[in-house]
Amino acid sequence: MKTYDKCYIDGQWVAPIASTKFQLLNPATETPFATVSLGGVADVDRAVSAARRAFASFSNTSKAERIALLQRIVELMTAREDEIEAAITEELGTPRSVRIHAGAAIASFKQAIRTLKDYEFEAHLGGNIVRREPIGVCGLITAWNWPLQLLATKYSMALAAGCTAVLKPSEFTPVSAILFAQVLHDAGVPKGVFNLVLGDGPTVGNAIASHPDIDLVSFTGSTRAGILVAEAAAPSVKRVCQELGGKSANVVLPDADLKTAASWNVARAFANTGQSCHAPTRILVHKDQADELLTLLCEEASKVRVGDPQNPATTMGPVVNKAQFERVQKYIHSGIEEGARLACGGLSRPNGLQRGYFVKPTIFADVQPTMTIAQEEIFGPVLAVLPYSTEQEAIEIANGTMYGLGAYVFSKDSQHGREVGRQLRAGRVFLNGKPSNTAAPMGGYKRSGNGREMGVFGLEEFLEVKAMIGFEEPVAA
């Protein structure tokens, strides 16, 4: 049994002032593998104080200095990639064969380097100077589903901007964050520039969101929790950037390659055991092609290998914990109760798995847009197939939830696909399964959030705008 009993504050590992023990369970075995000491409000206070002290000097570092620091972080994360992936397999249940987490985090830092190299912090506008300056001390609160990539995406840009930060990872996946803090320490991040406080949302998360000396809070998690963060942040009028829930639609147009669309949709929707806010969990298909597509989807789902994450043959592991397992089971039950047709998968664990929070890859047919499984974020390997009669109806169904994080379009005619994509109210729209990239801004419409991450837009979330009027140098005659 491992023990993690310290927070990282002001450049050193320190015991929390008043800690609470929290046991970590391996989601594949349901057995404890570590205990962590969760901090409290007093630990947030001293972390914020350290970050505030460090900001004065770090905000004045040069681009070259910050680029060099980012490059050292990339080198050290790359060297420890296997160790980091192993930790995430243990705490989250991601199969060893997948290896998606550390690479995504490293890519975030590489993007921060590229963005920073090309970014100009000062420009001339209408006879004025417009400067972008680091906003200050940033509170970063991240979710458990992408435990390393989420914090790397936020912190890489905060550091590139010249900000200091206090990070709270999910209490369910803190080990990867601890390894991340070790990497930053070894890379020479100045003391106070990065601080890690382990804790839960109601205590540490709320303390960060409401803290008067934090200038920005960047949160990734559920819409419900995001509302609480915004409410806590409101009295201090700090900037709030949120990447929240999703219920992404994949609009398969009649001219699309159905086999390609089915193969891609199952792979993307069930990746990370469906625990992804961008997962295309609603697949919209013309009613005349619904049966054909459904057959192809179930064929692809049958290829998913659910089981022990340590087994190289496994392609899908468990969900993160008991509460999430029960949540997914509840949604599957609601789909059955509300009249959707179960095409494959269903309730309980897959055959042969007696322990662990494993879920059957599940696909529902004949789903109506008003059904619970078509409206609410499930966060598990559950896919809803919705038929449509006309293209306009498909667009209305795709836009017909409270979310607007991602959307997908499949069509052999890229121009037609673009026309449909323009009508989808989502922060990211992908054509024909095009892979994501870290230069494109990520964020949502509606209740999927109000900020943007990655690339130039992600950097500018951590910058404040200053107009300098009358400081423009006269033009030489």
Are 452 and 442 in contact, with CB atoms under 8 Å apart? yes
Number of C-beta neighbours around residue 471 at 10 A: 10
Contact 273, 93 (CB under 8 A): yes
Is the pLDDT at 477 greater than 70? The verdict is no
CATH topology of domain 249-431: Aldehyde Dehydrogenase; Chain A, domain 2 (3.40.309)
Percent of the chain with pLDDT over 70: 99
- What is the phi/psi pair of residue 217, to 5°? -120, 125
At residue 77, the pLDDT reads 98
Packing angle, helices 290-301 and 258-270, rounded to 10: 50
Three-class SS state of 404: strand
Q: How far apart are the first and last CA of the chain?
A: 75
CATH topology agreement for domains 2-244+449-467 and 249-431: no
- The answer, yes or no, to whether residue 474 has pLDDT greater than 80, is no
Domain ranges for the chain: 2-244+449-467, 249-431
User: What average pLDDT does this structure show over 66-84?
Assistant: 98
Residue pLDDT, tens place only, 399-422: 999 999 999 999 999 999 999 999
Q: Is 277 a catalytic residue?
A: yes
CA nearest neighbour of 379 among 291, 474, 273: 273
User: For residue 321, what are its two tokens?
Assistant: 């914990």
Helix/strand/coil for 142: coil
Q: Starting from the edge strand earliest in sequence, which strands make up the sheet with 164-168, in order?
A: 12-14, 7-9, 194-196, 164-168, 137-141, 216-220, 239-243
Please give the Cα distance from 361 to 346 (Å, whole number).
Answer: 8
Q: How far is CA 164 from the centre of its chain?
A: 21
Q: At what angle do helices 81-92 and 63-79 cross, to 10 degrees?
A: 70
Quick check: 9 pLDDT over 90?
yes
- The predicted-structure confidence for 239-252, as pLDDT tens digits, reads as follows 999 999 999 999 99
Annotation marks residue 419 as catalytic: no
- Report the alpha-carbon distance of residue 271 to residue 332 in Å, rounded: 18
DSSP 366: S
**What is the three-class DSSP state of 207?**
helix
Mind listing the pLDDT tens digit for each residue in 294-318? 999 999 999 999 999 999 999 999 9
Q: What is the mean pLDDT of the chain?
A: 97
Question: Is 161 strand, coil or helix?
Answer: helix
Give me the pLDDT at residue 476, please.
54
CA distance linking residue 11 with residue 194, whole number of Å: 8
pLDDT value at residue 473 = 65
The DSSP output letter for 146 is S
Distant-in-sequence, close-in-space partners of 370: CB < 8 Å, separation ≥ 6 = none
- Overall CATH class of domain 2-244+449-467: alpha beta
CA–CA distance, 112 with 241 (Å, rounded to integer): 18
- Spatial distance between the Cα atoms of 440 and 438, rounded to a whole number of angstroms: 6
Task: Please count the residues of the chain.
Answer: 477
CA atoms within 13 A on the CB side of 203: 17
Count the Cβ atoms, other than its own, within 10 Å of residue 92.
Answer: 30
pLDDT band at 225 (very low <50, low <70, confident <90, very high): very high
The pLDDT-based confidence of 386 (bands split at 50, 70, 90) is very high
- 9-42: b or e for each residue (b if 16 or more CB lie within 10 Å)? bbbeeeebeebeebebbbbbbeeeebebbbbbbe
- CA pseudo-torsion sign 51, 57, 59, 63: negative
Q: What pLDDT was estimated at residue 475? A: 55
Q: What is the pLDDT of residue 1?
A: 87
Which of these is catalytic: 277, 377, 453, 461? 277
The three-class DSSP label of residue 406 is: strand
pLDDT digits (tens, 9 = 90+) for 448-464: 999 999 999 999 999 99
Average pLDDT over residues 152-166: 98
Answer whether 138's CB lies under 8 Å from 158's CB: yes
The H or E element spanning position 250 is strand 249-252
d(CA 444, CA 266): 23
Give the pLDDT mean for 205-229: 97
The pTM (predicted TM-score) of the whole model is 0.96
Contacts of 297 (CB under 8 A, 6+ apart): 262, 265, 266, 283, 343, 363, 383, 385
Tokens read off for 124 = 């001339």
* Residue 426 near residue 445, CB atoms below 8 Å: yes
Per-residue confidence (pLDDT) for residue 266, from 0 to 100 = 98
Interaxial angle between packed helices 149-161 and 63-79, expressed in degrees from 0 to 180 and rounded to the nearest 10: 160
Alpha-carbon distance of 425 to 404, in angstroms, equals 6
CA 162/CA 160 separation, integer angstroms: 6
